[in-house]
Structure formats: C-alpha cells, structure tokens
Amino acid sequence: MTTASTNPALSLTYQHCHFPMRRKSIAILFVISFTPTVISLEIDLKGFNPEHEFGAELKDNKLHFSWKSNPHQFFAVFQLDQKGKETESMPLIESIGIDKKTVINNLLPHYLFWIGDRTLDKRGWTIFFDRVNRRPFTNELAILEPSKIKVSTSKNRAKIKVDSLKSKNFEGSLNFHFYHGSAFIHMEAQVSTERPKTAFLYDVALEKVSPKNNTLHWIDPLGAAQSLTINETAKAKPLATRFRSVSLGSNEGSITLSPFPHQYLYPLDFADNFNYNWFGTGYQEKIKGFCIGTRQPPQGDKRYVPWVNAPPKTVQKLGTLIHISKQSGLDNINRVKKYTRDDSFKALPGYKTFTSHYHVEHSLDYIKKQKEEKTQRIPSKLVKPEFVDVFKEMGIDIVHLAEFHVGKTPRLKTKERLAELKVMHDECERLSTDKFLLLPGEEPNVHLGGHWISFFPKPINWVLNRKEGQPFEQEIEGIGKVYSVGSSEDIIKLFEKEKGLLWTAHPRLKSSFGYPDRYKETDFYKNDIFLGAAWKAMPADYSRETLGWRVLDLQDDMANWGQKKYIVGEVDIFKIFKGYELFGTMNVNYIKLDKLPKYQDGWQPVLDALRNGSFFVTTGEILIPQCSFSGKESGETLPSIDLRHILLDTDLEWTYPLAFMEIVSGDGKKVYRQRIDLNDTQEFQSRKIQKSIDLRGRHWVRIEVWDIAKNGAFTVPVWIQR
C-alpha cells in the first residue's frame, strides 16, 4: 500500500510495512519534500527483532510502537512528518495509551538548555566552589529536525533514536527507551558541545496541544494532594512538588513527568525544595504552548552554584521519565513514588541505616534561642525539631551530625567550647530513642590538612587549640575529662585512646582538594583510627554512567595503596525542614547491626561496623542484602587459595530496571572492571547472582550496581591475602 501525506506543503511516499513475526534487516528511506527543500527521513529497522516481543508498525505517516507491562500492552504513536520548526511542527508524539486506548494525545517534547561558563583555572572539572549563576549565562531551546529514526531492541528493552536535536551550542539526538514490565517511557536527549568550559542545566517540557479537557495533579512538599483545572493561557510558573513529579490527567488516565531522583539534582549546600517542576504557557519566552515540565534552578541556593559539567565532545545523556496510567494523576504519582520507596530507605533485617555529615547546627540554634527567650530550658521552638521527624519518616536509624561548622569554632576558648559541646551531647541524648540514634559529630578541619569528620563512640569533651604548656588531658570540675589537641600527634593520641574514627570529608573536592592523597604516607592515615573518605555524588556530569565516580575512584586508589580504608556515604548539607527536597540529595549506609545501641551505653558497635567494612552504600533504590566472594564479605580477608575460581555470590533487590553490575578489583597498581549486563532485568525484582571469577594477582575486590535512572549501590572491598 502507498500513502501520501495530506499536508499540502509536504509530500511523503512510503510502503506500508508491518513486522509482526520475523526480523527485517532493512532500512526504509522516506523522502519528505518541502518547498523549496527536500529532507530525507531514513527509518532504520535493522536492529529491530520481533522475537523480543516489541511491536513496530509503519502506518499512515506514523510509527506505532508497543511494549508490554503485564497484563497490559502499552503503546506510543510517533508522527514522522516533522517540519523541523518546533513552533510549527505537528506533535511528535501523537498518542500514548494502554490496551489500544489513548490516554494522552498530541504531545511535543522540548529540551531547554541553560549555558554558562565553568571556572577551570584552579581545579579543572572537579569543582564545587563555583558560582556559574553570577556570571553571564543564556538559555536556548533545542529544535528537533528529524533526518533519521533508528529502532533497536534487546530481550527486555527497546530504543527509538531520532536524529537530530540541535540548539545553538548542543547537538545530538532525541531517544525513547522502552522496558518490558515498566509503565513508563524513558525520554533522553543525547547531546554534546564543542564549546569549551561549559557548565549547563536542562529543563524538560511536554507541550500538550489543546489541553482544555485535561487536569493538573501533584503532591505538594508537605504531602498534600493538589489538583488544578488547566487554564490554557496561564503563564508558566515553577511548581514545588514532592517526589519531583507532576501529572497531566485526561478522561482516560494520566501521564506523570518525573526526572531521575538523584542525578537530576545537581550538588548544592542546601536541600530546600527549589521547585523542580513547572507548568503553563510561554516558558522562558521560548515555548508558546501549554506544558508540564521539570526544571533545574539556575540560581540554586545562591551560595556555591556549580551547575553540571559538559566537557567538549562528551555525550550528555539527559533523561526523564513519562509514566503512563489508566488512573488519575494523583494515583499515577502514588505509583511513581514507589520507585523511590516513598522517598525513604527500606528496613533490611540485620542492618541499620546510617547517614552522616549534616550541618543542621541544632546546637548553635539551641543556644541562640535560649538567649532570645531568656531561658535555661529547652527553647519552645526546639522541643521537637523538625529534622528529627524528617529522618524518622525516611526510615533512618542513625544520624551522625557535623555540628559547629562555623569559622570561629577552632579558636574558641575552653569554657565556651565545652558549653557548646554540652548542648550537643545533651540534645543528642534527649532526641535519641530506642528506635533512633542522633549522634554527636563535627567537621573540625584542624591539624591534619583538608576537611575531615570526627566520630567518637560516646560523648567526648575536646578543645581544638591546645597551647604550648597546656596539658593534653585534664580533669575539670563539673565536666570531667577534657582533651586539648594542637597537632596531628594529639589527634592520633586522642582517637586511639577513645577509640574514635575520622575520615576525609568531600575528598578531592572543596577544601579537601588533593586529600587524602597528600597525607597518605602520614602516621594518622596509616593508623586504624583513619577510616578513609566519604562518598557523595558531586560534581555532576551526565556523560557518566554512574554517580560519585570521584570517590569510587578514590576507594580503588586507597585499596591499591595498601591499607584497609573504606568510603562511607555522606550527605553534607545544611539545615533540614519538612518539605525540603532531602531524598534527592541523599545516600545511606546499611551497616550490619542486629539491634540499635542505647545512647546511654555508647555506640561502639556502630564504629566497629564501619571500621570492619561491614556495610554497603546506596542511593536507596538498589539494595545488596548479601555479597560474598567464596564466603568472605566486605571488610573480610579472602585466604590466598586457588584464586582462579572465586565464587561471587550476591543478592540484589531493586525498583527501576537495572543497567549493569561491575566487579571491581585491583592488584596494587591497576584497577580492573568486569561488567555484567543486567538488561534482562525488569522493575521491582530481586535476584541472586553467582559467578566464578579469576582473582589471581589481585589484592582486593568489590561490586557496584547501577540502574537505568543512574541510581546505584556498592560494597567496599573484600581483601585478598598476599
């Protein structure tokens, strides 16, 4: 059958093709004729295999694509006769639906890029202390000019690639990924730039043609459901949501637009809800029609605002998810939030959740409020501080603070310093329960170089500026034992005596740039009191397949340096209140503990689990309940037996479909990576993986697991006896 376009300015001739059963290794060439130019649209189906149970049909100027999520069949219809001008185009997505029934029709996707300049003079691309927002920046809309469409499939996954997507500074393709078992479309711009020193952000829009019969739905930051009848002429405005999601509803169901939960939030010091969604018309004076969207705030928290790295020629993969449902927008969001476990961390038998490095400054607030209220009692507004409830609601068992992160702390005289410590210790005890531990901690940043975190197994009184002739240890009436430190030797002595741990905060970044590398040969680094370093996803670079590669690389380097050092997850933010966007900034450590210690008894088991490497780190979506190499778990030592056939035995549990697992090992000089493709996985599953691996010549081994939304989990090393 031959069909011609009804558009008078365009003629399109093609042969009706349907591939229901057998693979077709062919490419089809569409000739799209405009006046006076001719554009050739090539449809490449060589990578499409019907045996993978996806459907692809070319019919009536459209590509009909389908996939299954039992018991339903989902579909998306793409219009092929695009003119190449966004403001005049027919909608790229004619319809999205379920079981042959359209849920939403006439959608036009948009990407808007914010273009700024990175400061590369001092620290290159590994930077946080940058203020891109304070220098001139612009925004630009990417225009889709279809010239080639490529369809490819594997067992559980499919991809439609549309070339090309162009803006002033970026160029690439628009891609649609489909996953059997998942009721969403993973939309992704893959673009690169030749522009040097580029820091950027991206906003995503789904423009709805004629939205008068649609409704808007979201959950506000405090958890209340919100709905709105759409005003087609309402000007675009940012929207504060929970779960970073906004829904567009119809009489037949809804779609929900939601970014990747952790990757999309570029690193900042504060975790306020910066309105990561938006809706309306005339967005940034670039998109005329009515849209729902996601956005990255150009001004951030107005402190250090580093945006995202885009080194020249790197392919930035800018993903977002379009969730499809027969139900209402609010019901759709209630399903979407299951992917992040309601923005919380699941309880695992035999583990407790431990999170570290929070500058909430509760102690200083407490002292300030006492003065304001002229009382020695608990300040009225701090009887029940919000941050404690926030952590409890997220499934956190243990919070390790980083109090007194102000410039004057190292200079405080003994009396004032001890008064502050007493408030911290008393408040941590008051706010701890048999199900929740709030533990004292600091980022003291003295005498060692760089920034570092302190962690003791009980309340310790210590002063940071020991003077010549001042005793290292003394008894003070009404307080008890007090230590004063003035050198790295004092630090070692104190932490050895009180069985404390310390580690590098934000290693190789911020004020720890160059650390712990610079002191890896020192006595305190080689001492067991030094745990290692802390992991957080910064800087941001969307060409990377993982988060936090800066510190994952450091874990491998430290293991190759020869000491048993570990990386522990950190969050490193200021202030926490209800309604903040905390989950997107977080990771958590699952440490092996059968029960929570009582504050009054001390919390030595927590430090022991960290020191022994008995934990794994995750963004929350992927869990590793068990992982061993021939019976040895993280932190343990594998005897030097026959290393040709070591059995990796691990249990995994996840929400989003997985992407891959890597077995990472080292020989003291090099790092080796063995990738296991997990493209056969579907969402909300679990699996035992057993694999024989050859570890001859290796000194250590660990694993990482990553999903399609760039969420991840990893273990720390198992050591190999040499």
pLDDT value for 11: 26
pLDDT value for 373: 96
- The predicted-structure confidence for 321-331, as pLDDT tens digits, reads as follows 999 999 999 99
Which tokens hold the place of 486? 């003035």
pLDDT value for 41: 83
Question: What type of residue sits at position 641?
Answer: I
Residue percentage of the chain with pLDDT more than 70: 93
pLDDT value for 595: 96
pLDDT value for 36: 29
- The predicted-structure confidence for 493-537, as pLDDT tens digits, reads as follows 999 999 999 999 999 999 999 999 999 999 999 999 999 999 999
Mean pLDDT of the chain: 93
Do the domain assignments include residue 448? yes
DSSP secondary structure string, 426-473? HHHHHH--SS-EEE--B----SSSS-EEEE-SS---EES-PPTT--SE
| Domain end call among 312, 340, 368 | 340
> What is the distance between the alpha carbons of residues 302 and 133, in angstroms, rounded to a whole number?
8
| Domain end call among 340, 374, 397 | 340
- The predicted-structure confidence for 160-206, as pLDDT tens digits, reads as follows 999 999 999 999 999 999 999 999 999 999 999 999 999 999 999 99
Do the domain assignments include residue 518? yes
> What is the distance between the alpha carbons of residues 616 and 395, in angstroms, rounded to a whole number?
16
- The predicted-structure confidence for 611-661, as pLDDT tens digits, reads as follows 999 999 999 999 999 999 999 999 999 998 899 999 999 999 999 999 999
Query: Does residue 13 register a pLDDT over 80?
Result: no
Query: Does residue 82 register a pLDDT over 90?
Result: no
| Domain end call among 620, 649, 679 | 620
Q: Is residue 121 domain-shared with residue 223, that is, in the same domain?
A: yes
Query: Does residue 143 register a pLDDT over 60?
Result: yes
pLDDT value for 722: 86
Residue 592's contacts (CB-CB under 8 Å, 6 or more residues apart) are 350, 351, 609, 614, 615
Q: Is residue 155 domain-shared with residue 189, that is, in the same domain?
A: yes
- The predicted-structure confidence for 527-565, as pLDDT tens digits, reads as follows 999 999 999 999 999 999 999 999 999 999 999 999 999
Query: Does residue 4 register a pLDDT over 80?
Result: no
Structure confidence at residue 30 as a pLDDT band (50, 70, 90): very low
> What is the distance between the alpha carbons of residues 172 and 83, in angstroms, rounded to a whole number?
18
CATH code of the domain containing 429: 3.20.20.140
Assess contact for 117 and 262: CB atoms under 8 A: no
Q: Is the peptide bond before 50 cis (omega within 30 degrees of 0)?
A: no
Question: What type of residue sits at position 538?
Answer: M
CATH code of the domain containing 330: 2.70.98
Name the helix (H) or strand (E) containing 388.
helix 386-393
Total domains, the chain = 3
Q: Is residue 327 domain-shared with residue 382, that is, in the same domain?
A: no
> What is the distance between the alpha carbons of residues 488 and 486, in angstroms, rounded to a whole number?
7
Query: Does residue 3 register a pLDDT over 90?
Result: no
Write the burial class of residue 103 (CB in 10 Å: 0-12 exposed, 13-18 middle, 19+ buried).
buried
Residue 635's contacts (CB-CB under 8 Å, 6 or more residues apart) are 564, 566, 612, 613, 614, 716, 717, 718, 719
Strands (E), 450-536: 452-455, 462-463, 473-476, 480-484, 501-504, 530-535
Residue 141's contacts (CB-CB under 8 Å, 6 or more residues apart) are 86, 110, 111, 112, 113, 167, 286, 287
Tell me phi and psi for residue 277, to 5 degrees. Answer: -125, 170
Which tokens hold the place of 575? 């202030």
> What is the distance between the alpha carbons of residues 82 and 92, in angstroms, rounded to a whole number?
7
pTM (global) more than 0.85: yes
Which tokens hold the place of 109? 């996707």
Do the domain assignments include residue 670? yes
- The predicted-structure confidence for 424-477, as pLDDT tens digits, reads as follows 999 999 999 999 999 999 999 999 999 999 999 999 999 999 999 999 999 999
SS3 content of the chain, % helix, strand, coil (to 5): 15, 40, 45
Beta bridge partners of 157: 179
Q: Is residue 489 domain-shared with residue 358, that is, in the same domain?
A: yes
- The predicted-structure confidence for 48-77, as pLDDT tens digits, reads as follows 999 999 999 998 889 999 999 999 999 999
Q: Is residue 476 domain-shared with residue 536, that is, in the same domain?
A: yes
pLDDT value for 481: 97
Q: Is residue 633 domain-shared with residue 515, that is, in the same domain?
A: no
Query: Does residue 340 register a pLDDT over 50?
Result: yes
Name the residue among 239, 271, 236, 272 with its Cα closest to residue 258.
239
pLDDT value for 306: 97
Write the burial class of residue 574 (CB in 10 Å: 0-12 exposed, 13-18 middle, 19+ buried).
middle
Matching residue, tokens 């020695």: 376
Residue span of the structural domain in which 657 resides:
622-722
Query: Does residue 35 register a pLDDT over 60?
Result: no
pLDDT value for 40: 59
Q: Is residue 333 domain-shared with residue 397, that is, in the same domain?
A: no
pLDDT value for 83: 53
Tell me phi and psi for residue 585, to 5 degrees. Answer: -90, -5
